[in-house]
């Protein structure tokens, strides 16, 4: 789904992070598919907080509920509507928070009536030729009800002349370019598809006799399900009462999984492509220590996302690990900003210096990434005001210099500090005593690779390298805002 | 305020923690007193999540707003009402979440018209003779509008024949027993009072020419204010345009500050009576390691409250510190509970094992306290299912065996596992391989004392020892529920 | 309750009517007292639309619910809360709509705990010495929670040293001046009281073995109850399981019932003091025809309140009765006002001319009263634009020239057109061809009296004559707004 | 729009009326088109109370707002959104209240993007071949987002290969059967269409230089606009900056306007096809008196819809007209039903007998129609309990014996009392002393016709005669519920 987005908390300048744009989940064959889906979506809440939705099938009827806000606000034990959602198959979706007034009609899963019956679909990712496809469909008489790229897929499925739903979906996807992990539900089947390059994650799990599809393994854990395997790039799985059938929607090519999932997006307790996210972050931190160690008293993580890398850094370097910054987990919707006279400008809403720890110390701050640089600057300043003698910033990713076109909300290149400035300029801007990013090869080493394969890299790392595995559409680049009326 | 409370999240059995029952905050002399109070209350959100309120004075009029929910839901930049609250003096309150339907009339600060003018008051703590005082007031013609003990103070102030408001307040407080930190506002003065034993915290700060009162220093940090001093036990401070005047409402006796504020209630970045809460927790962890160390591969904190003690434990013992449990910070209102058939019973809503770390390891779990024992049992089980070879539980407080009568929500003695069972029985109940609590003397050593003074202990530790510094009222013990109709 | 009020509909200039300020209702001895009260309040909705409330007693506990809006929004079959209100005794109240933000704390019935137990009370009318009594109570230590005059009564009851509740109430009422119809509920008794002059109505009814108190008989009809009698002025009735006991709170004097109840406030299907309101209005219309008949083609009522008088006028005069004005019963909350350019200024939101009827005719318009004159002016203009040849306005009450201090919302004297202008000036202002009000003696004749008794009139007619039966308090007149902070 | 509906008030058995299912309104060329539309929809509120919507165009952008509830709740001066709707052209719609949870997606006007640009449409009426058209569209790849028949029209417009929007609309309508009055908006044009037989009304008006389209003239009156003419059956009008252009979408045939609009649906102050609705009702009452007069003391209207016919009856017969039934205009959402023990069963929520008038009299009750008969029975019983000596029921329409397929919500034939029972059986069922309906020819005489033209009647009177001018589709009759998923 293509939207320019901002965080709901306006202080701390968005925490200065990139943001994943969705989670998908699906179950087939459990008498409590709706409850499992609610739990799964709750575990995937970090991938999208604006809205959530669920479509279920009870053998006779489809049921749908979509709402703004968190999963727990929409699907909970006190909600009358959970009973109305009871079914043996379900798909669900979390949507990332966006600018402007959110609209119910854009909340997934979508449910619509096609010639073969009801069809529900939910999508994580972004289509790069969505505008062109949409225009062509409208010109020939299709009515769009949402402003999402996902809807183009549905129209293509609706127009397909194939008889079997899975063939219709395949035919539709052949006309589509981009990154996607899809879950779809028809009356007797749960369907999952991953794009040909496998940019976005999709995982198969099982509990008792039910199969599950999920963006991350942490959603398996919350229901006690076991991990079976990652869906392959270009693979479509059909899950029905006979079990799992696998089809291919494209030839097998080398996958290009999004490396930022390991750096920041995914939950640390998730395991993707058999790699622990927590361990990957620790290894990145350790590699960062090897590349750019420096003498200091303390390693301080920027909470929460910098914690595993900081711990890896501390263990590798032997420098003491301390929580020098405390995060307030209660989040304000809209920041109250007293005037400069009334309140010191260096304070932050969500982070506070643990001055007793920091005062008089040389410290290494570890964060996972720098996007705009605004939060880093505030945090360094806060550290100094708390008495730090020197502040050395270490970043557990290479400089972010390019936008993502595959479902991640990235600021304009003009707002990516590393796209505009040299290392020394950034250091100066954030007022750190020293600054280092992990190198791109260091990142690949931390991921267990010998080095980055320059011809066909092992991951999608376009945000660091500009090496886009799927050509972004001209329309899309210049006109992404038109996508959302 | 005396209420039996439950947490809003029903899984993970309340996290099995005791709960502080309120925060207070006050400012005098800033043109943006209302904004500073909103930020201060936000920083104190951990002390009460059910409701929040603010009363301000703009030189002509008092303004009040009270509402259920978090500070950021009630006081934010998009709220029209912030402008209506503009004033140069303000007090605010966060209220702890309670059972049943919450009532607006119980949300503080209270604002009422007395013979001398408007009078606003907010209270953290609990009065032990509130029922007796209330009964006597009702019998002689006072009408109570709330079910809080705080209101009794207001009636006593209203009935006082003294002319000065501060003398009326003093006269009222002399009829009251219990623990309290009060902030009050009249038209030209902010007033703060701490009970004679100083059980609950109250701190004086300053920003520019404005003075502030707050339950914790973290609320000073969020506005960039500086710490001046803790209000003394039995002290009343009068803050007006001439600055701060100090009176005594009782003779000076040895203070009995609540030791649980250091163990769990306060934010780790707060400093109370000049001691860093974070450091105190680390010292407790270190002392725990000294008292009950054991050979293991990893020290794992039970997040979030066990983290500083675990780090102290790890640093003292030299055992590797790892995040073996990941916490989901998105909280569900009401837990969805699939049946046993559909979902494994050992899984939790907010905690997930980081299996890649734990598998095959001997681990030491560090938590700050055990109240009912239910969460501990689940977490130990989760660790085993994630592959831990052995699980050793270490608790950074002595066994909790007595209820608190001074403003902390404690379960009945029957539900305090340590009040009902021996150490070995508890270990058996939670299915740990070993279990140790820090000793009461170890706790005092960690706090920097040579040992606990048995005659007049340096802290209120009644929940561990039964040594109550203020005799709980008979009425109160048997009838605390009557207090809340 | 003393509040300056405006109507919720801003076009049609408030319909230019005076407004009753409340309804009361009570039941004792029915297993469905809460349901009967909901129906009774619904039938009395015309006496107050801002808010409604109910207090019930189920033999063990009191239950209360109060809410803004109409009865049907607060008490209906789909409301979960009806079951929680189940009881065998109940009192209820409708509150008139007022300016500014309404506050829950001002919604009646009030329920409070007194020395003898719970005490609930609801009030229709207005106390003329409320401010003085309130000030004296505050000065001696009483805390007021609402801004209503009703609360003063409760404090006086609370302070009484009498033992029996009914004696306490009597003692309280002896300190009070003004007009009131009260219903009160204690644990084993329903109490009703009417002020010494009987200005406001209060009626006793019965259904099966249950007794009821109500402001009007239409609330008896909706539940199929039978009328027993009007409560006497200065009478207190105690209703318990032994039936009805009557006490006197004042000596018997000639009553002064509000004559405007017959003219406009009460529902036409109600019967007060054995007189049908509908018949009274028809008789007034007939008398008006006798006093000021004129030759015309049609008698047209200004709907809805002018209808019975117009019918009486038509039947007396023999002139044809037609609905020349159609009223839109869907009421807008806030009027949308296009600019003069976009929309003709003579049109109205709630009234529309029935042009086919009016065109080319000499018409007599009959309305019940003129307060500010603004609506009359618009309606006359509308009639002319619809083609009326001549428009003769006839008013079924004498000129309204004085404010009411007994519970009716009257504009300032400056806004009462008849207080500022002569008959001819008013006619000119509303642009009618002729204008006549019924005379004060004509009004009394229509009510079946020989003439108005000048020394002690048979009714309270102060709004027409300035002859106030209870001296309005100085404070009240000048400071009525202070009553509502 | 085809929905089985029930009234929101459950007592008084739905008032036992048929219900119109929608209103449409449109303006072109006023700088305050959005405000005029809000007022127009407010005046048309009686044609649909469930939901309302508006689409406007400001020269650059389309704006849309749709919401459940009344016009005044959605479009009012305090609504921020009115400014966002500012435009020089607008269309609006009121939707009739339906069973079950209403859905935003079904609220009109619909706004969608077609190949030629934005297209908005609103519809009053019902398509008889909607299901067949919908099925065919779905089978060839169209996605339906609503459950309304209106959407089929949009898809047909979208699929048309014509270039001009008006030609696309005409092509679409040629594939559609049924009754409709449509308003549509494109970027430079307002379009109105009436079905070939003119079953539903559509009227052209003008204010200043702006043209308006409306279902009834009362919406012209509220803005002070003048009536120009009724749109002809089978006519399409195009309104743009050059004025009004007229096209034909079908050949001219004799019109079949819905006669029930005169009997009950339209507001009495509206004028349709140059006939005053009020006068038509009075003429029907007079004819009814001629056909079935009887000696009695009083003519009593069943309010509100029976009033004009009753007045016509009284004037014709010379029997005195009195308001013997008073209606409570405050409507409860959900009826509270005490048990039989607690409340008399003969009472009603909205109607009350005016006993003082009725007692001891022979009365003639006049109502506009009987659908199920349930309310009539209750009202007759209420009259008797109020003391009526005899009750003669006279009905100002012929017996309703057939469902409507053209946009009126009719109960199943099984629930139409006159379809199931003889006149004498109905009289017996409602317990009247006598009962008469106007004859079908009497009705036509009252409408100014010599008699009903049996071959091609002057009106659609299918509900009385079964003579359907448009053949109802097989699908539609058996499967109307399928239309609404």
Q: Which residues contact B315 (CB under 8 A, 6 or more apart)?
A: A320, B282, B286, B321
Residue A155: both structure tokens together? 């129209």
Residue A316 sits at the vertex; the CA angle it makes with A312 and A318, to the nearest 5 degrees, is 110
C290 vs C284: CA distance, rounded Å:
10
Looking at the fold, whether A220 and A163 belong to one and the same domain comes out as yes
For C285-344, write each residue's pLDDT tens digit.
999 999 998 999 999 999 989 999 999 999 999 999 999 999 987 865 555 667 756 666
Cβ under 8 Å to C: D residues 411-450: none
Looking at the fold, whether D136 and D86 belong to one and the same domain comes out as yes
pLDDT confidence tier of residue C9, bands split at 50, 70 and 90: very low
Instruction: Say if the Cβ atoms of D143 and A159 lie within 8 Å.
Output: no
pLDDT at D239 over 70: yes
**Domain count across chain B:** 2
> Between B and C, how many CB-CB pairs are < 8 A?
59
Looking at the fold, whether D249 and D396 belong to one and the same domain comes out as no
B348 vs D390: CA distance, rounded Å:
74
Answer yes or no: is D270 within a domain.
Answer: no
Using a CB-CB cut-off of 8 Å, the residues of chain A touching D162 are none
Q: What mean pLDDT comes out for the span C245-274? A: 95
The pLDDT score that the predictor gives to residue C4 is 24
> For chain C, what is the radius of gyration of the CA atoms?
23
Residue D437: both structure tokens together? 């309906």
CB of A336 closer than 8 Å to CB of B79: no
Cβ under 8 Å to C: D residues 379-398: none
The pLDDT score that the predictor gives to residue C237 is 98
Looking at the fold, whether B175 and B282 belong to one and the same domain comes out as no
Answer yes or no: is B464 within a domain.
Answer: no
Chains A and C touch (3+ CB pairs under 8 A): no
Of B64-73, B201-210, C223-232, D387-396, which range is least confident? B64-73
Looking at the fold, whether C191 and C298 belong to one and the same domain comes out as no
Instruction: Say if the Cβ atoms of A154 and D143 lie within 8 Å.
Output: yes
Residue B403: both structure tokens together? 């209820």
**What distance, in Å, lies between the first and last C-alpha atoms of chain D?**
13
pLDDT at B347 over 90: no
Residue B118 sits at the vertex; the CA angle it makes with B114 and B123, to the nearest 5 degrees, is 95
pLDDT at A340 over 80: no
Q: Please state whether the predicted TM-score (pTM) of the whole model is above 0.80.
A: yes
C85 vs C100: CA distance, rounded Å:
30
For A131-160, write each residue's pLDDT tens digit.
899 999 999 999 998 878 889 999 999 999
A164 vs A151: CA distance, rounded Å:
20
Q: Is A159 exposed, middle or buried (0-12, 13-18, 19+ CB in 10 A)?
A: buried
Instruction: Say if the Cβ atoms of D138 and A145 lie within 8 Å.
Output: no
Using a CB-CB cut-off of 8 Å, the residues of chain B touching C144 are 112-113
**Residue D228 in contact with partner chain C when CB distance is under 8 A:** no
Which residues, in sequence order, are bridge partners of residue B459?
B257
The residue range of the domain holding B75 is 11-256
Looking at the fold, whether B121 and B238 belong to one and the same domain comes out as yes
Question: Residue B285's domain is classified under what CATH number?
Answer: 3.40.50.2020
For D301-354, write each residue's pLDDT tens digit.
999 899 999 999 999 999 999 999 999 878 655 556 677 566 665 678 889 999
D235 vs D192: CA distance, rounded Å:
8
Strands C257-258 and C459-460, by their bridges, are parallel
For C50-69, write each residue's pLDDT tens digit.
899 999 999 999 999 999 88
Q: What mean pLDDT comes out for the span D368-385? A: 94
Count of all residues that appear for chain C in the document: 485
Answer yes or no: is C112 within a domain.
Answer: yes
CB of B1 closer than 8 Å to CB of B149: yes
**Residue A294 in contact with partner chain B when CB distance is under 8 A:** no
CB of C120 closer than 8 Å to CB of C109: yes
pLDDT at A274 over 70: yes
A381 vs A364: CA distance, rounded Å:
14
The pLDDT score that the predictor gives to residue D17 is 78
Instruction: Say if the Cβ atoms of B114 and C138 lie within 8 Å.
Output: yes
Using a CB-CB cut-off of 8 Å, the residues of chain A touching B42 are 328, 330, 332, 349
Instruction: Say if the Cβ atoms of B141 and C142 lie within 8 Å.
Output: yes
Answer yes or no: is A484 within a domain.
Answer: no
Using a CB-CB cut-off of 8 Å, the residues of chain A touching B278 are 323, 326, 354, 356-357
In B267-325, alpha helices (H): 277-292, 307-317
Interface with chain B: mutation pick from C101, C113, C118, C143, highest number of B CBs within 10 Å: C143
Answer yes or no: is B6 within a domain.
Answer: no
Q: How many helices (H) and strands (E) does chain B have?
A: 17, 26
Half-sphere exposure of D426 (CA within 13 A, CB side): 28
Instruction: Say if the Cβ atoms of B353 and A308 lie within 8 Å.
Output: no
B72 vs B266: CA distance, rounded Å:
20
Phi-psi region of C306 (alpha: psi -120 to 50; beta: other; left: phi over 0): alpha
Looking at the fold, whether B21 and B165 belong to one and the same domain comes out as yes
The pLDDT score that the predictor gives to residue C2 is 29
The pLDDT score that the predictor gives to residue C483 is 32
C45 vs C51: CA distance, rounded Å:
10
Interface with chain A: mutation pick from B27, B46, B221, B273, highest number of A CBs within 10 Å: B221
Looking at the fold, whether A143 and A28 belong to one and the same domain comes out as yes
pLDDT at A8 over 50: no
The pLDDT score that the predictor gives to residue A2 is 29
The pLDDT score that the predictor gives to residue A100 is 38
Answer yes or no: is D5 within a domain.
Answer: no
pLDDT confidence tier of residue B484, bands split at 50, 70 and 90: very low
**Residue B80 in contact with partner chain C when CB distance is under 8 A:** no
Mean pLDDT of chain A: 89
The pLDDT score that the predictor gives to residue A197 is 96
Coil vs helix vs strand at B429: helix
pLDDT at C11 over 50: no
Top-confidence range, A399-403, B100-104, B144-148, C18-22:
A399-403
> What share of chain D has pLDDT > 70, as a percent?
89
Q: Identify the CA nearest to C388 among candidates C365, C364, C363.
A: C363
> Between A and B, how many CB-CB pairs are < 8 A?
221
Looking at the fold, whether A150 and A45 belong to one and the same domain comes out as yes
Half-sphere exposure of D122 (CA within 13 A, CB side): 32
D109 or B410, greater pLDDT: D109
Q: Which residues contact C25 (CB under 8 A, 6 or more apart)?
A: C37, C40, C41, C44, C91, C92, C93, C183, C212, C213, C214, C215, C219
CB of C129 closer than 8 Å to CB of C473: yes
Question: Residue D16's domain is classified under what CATH number?
Answer: 3.60.20.10
- The reply to whether omega before A250 is within 30° of 0 (cis) is no
Q: What mean pLDDT comes out for the span B190-198? A: 97
D3 vs D1: CA distance, rounded Å:
6
Helices D150-159/D165-174 angle, 10° precision: 120
- The torsion of the CA quartet C274, C275, C276, C278, rounded to 10 degrees, works out to -170
Instruction: Say if the Cβ atoms of B144 and C114 lie within 8 Å.
Output: no
Looking at the fold, whether D169 and D248 belong to one and the same domain comes out as yes
The pLDDT score that the predictor gives to residue D472 is 75
Q: What is the ipTM of this complex?
A: 0.90
Looking at the fold, whether D231 and D322 belong to one and the same domain comes out as no
CA distances to A37, A204, A234, A276, B341 from A226, rounded to whole Å, are 15, 9, 23, 15, 15
D140, D143, D160 member nearest A143 (Cβ)? D143
> Any idea which residues of D carry the catalytic annotation?
22
D100 vs B286: CA distance, rounded Å:
63
pLDDT confidence tier of residue A293, bands split at 50, 70 and 90: confident
B166 vs B162: CA distance, rounded Å:
9
Q: What is the 3-state secondary structure (H, E, C) of chain A?
A: CCCCCCCCCCHHHHHHCCEECEEEEEEECCCCHHHHHHHHHHHCHHHCCCEEEEEEECCCCEEEEEEECCHHHHCCCCCCHHHHCCCCEEEEEEECCCCCCCCHHHCCCEEEEECCEEEEEEEEEEECCHHHHHHHHHHCCCCCCCCCCHHHHHHHHHHCCCCCHHHHHHHHHHCCCEEEEEEEEECCEEEEEECCCCCCCCEEEEECCEEEEECCCHHHHCCCCEEEEECCCCEEEEEECCEEEEEECCCCCCCCEECHHHHHHCCCCCEECCEEHHHHHHHHHHHHHHHHCCCCCEEEECCCCCHHHHHHHHHHHCCEECCCEEECCCCCCCCCCCCCCCCCCCCCCCEEECHHHHCCCEEEEEECCCCCCHHHHHHHHHHHHCCCCEEEEEECCCCCCCCCCCCEECCCHHHCHHHHCCHHHHHHHHCCCEEEECCHHHHHHHCCCCCCCCCCCCEECHHHHCCCCCCCCHHHHHHHHHHCC
Instruction: Say if the Cβ atoms of A113 and D139 lie within 8 Å.
Output: no
Chains B and D touch (3+ CB pairs under 8 A): no
For B249-285, write each residue's pLDDT tens digit.
999 999 999 999 999 999 999 999 999 999 999 999 9
CB of C420 closer than 8 Å to CB of C414: yes
**Residue C115 in contact with partner chain B when CB distance is under 8 A:** yes
Looking at the fold, whether D284 and D209 belong to one and the same domain comes out as no
């Amino acid at each position: 789904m293509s939207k320019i987005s901002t965080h709901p908390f306006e202080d701390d300048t968005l925490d200065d992070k990139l943001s994943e744009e969705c989670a998908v989940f699906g179950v087939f064959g459990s008498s409590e598919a709706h409850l499992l889906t609610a739990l799964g979506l709750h575990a995937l809440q970090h991938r999208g907080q604006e809205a959530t939705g669920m479509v279920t099938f009870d053998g006779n009827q489809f049921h749908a509920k979509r709402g703004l806000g968190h999963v727990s606000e929409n699907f909970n034990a006190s909600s009358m509507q959970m009973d109305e959602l009871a079914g043996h198959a379900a798909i669900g979706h979390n949507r990332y928070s966006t600018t402007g007034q959110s609209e119910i009609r854009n909340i997934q899963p979508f449910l619509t009536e096609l010639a073969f019956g009801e069809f529900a679909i939910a999508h994580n990712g972004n289509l790069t030729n969505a505008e062109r496809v949409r225009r062509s469909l409208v010109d020939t008489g299709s009515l769009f009800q949402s402003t999402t790229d996902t809807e183009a897929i549905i129209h293509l499925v609706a127009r397909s002349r194939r008889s079997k739903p899975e063939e219709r979906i395949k035919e539709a996807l052949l006309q589509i370019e981009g990154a996607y992990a899809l879950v779809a539900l028809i009356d007797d089947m749960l369907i999952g598809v991953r794009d040909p390059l496998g940019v976005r994650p999709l995982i198969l799990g099982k509990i008792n006799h039910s199969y599950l599809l999920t963006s991350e393994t942490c959603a398996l854990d919350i229901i006690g399900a076991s991990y079976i395997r990652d869906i392959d790039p270009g693979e479509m799985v059909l899950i029905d009462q006979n079990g799992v059938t696998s089809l291919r929607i494209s030839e097998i090519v080398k996958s290009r999984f999004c490396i930022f999932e390991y750096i920041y997006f995914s939950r640390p307790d998730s395991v993707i492509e058999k790699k622990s996210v927590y361990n990957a972050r620790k290894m990145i931190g350790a590699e960062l220590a090897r590349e750019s160690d420096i003498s200091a008293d303390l390693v301080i993580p920027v909470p929460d996302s910098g914690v595993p890398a900081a711990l890896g850094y501390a263990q590798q370097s032997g420098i003491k690990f301390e929580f020098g910054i405390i995060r307030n987990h209660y989040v304000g919707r809209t920041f109250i900003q007293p005037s400069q006279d009334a309140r010191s400008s260096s304070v932050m809403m969500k982070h506070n210096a643990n001055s007793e720890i920091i005062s008089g110390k040389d410290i290494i701050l570890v964060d996972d990434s720098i996007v705009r640089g605004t939060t880093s600057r505030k945090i360094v300043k806060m550290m100094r005001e708390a008495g730090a003698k020197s502040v050395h910033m270490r970043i557990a990713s290479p400089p972010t210099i390019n936008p993502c076109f595959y479902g991640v909300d990235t600021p304009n290149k003009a707002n990516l500090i590393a796209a505009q400035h040299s290392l020394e300029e950034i250091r100066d801007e954030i007022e750190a005593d020293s600054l280092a990013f992990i190198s791109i090869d260091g990142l690949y080493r931390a991921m267990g690779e010998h080095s980055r394969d320059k011809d066909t890299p092992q991951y999608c790392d376009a945000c660091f390298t500009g090496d886009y595995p799927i050509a972004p559409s001209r329309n899309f680049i210049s006109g992404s805002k038109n996508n959302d009326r």
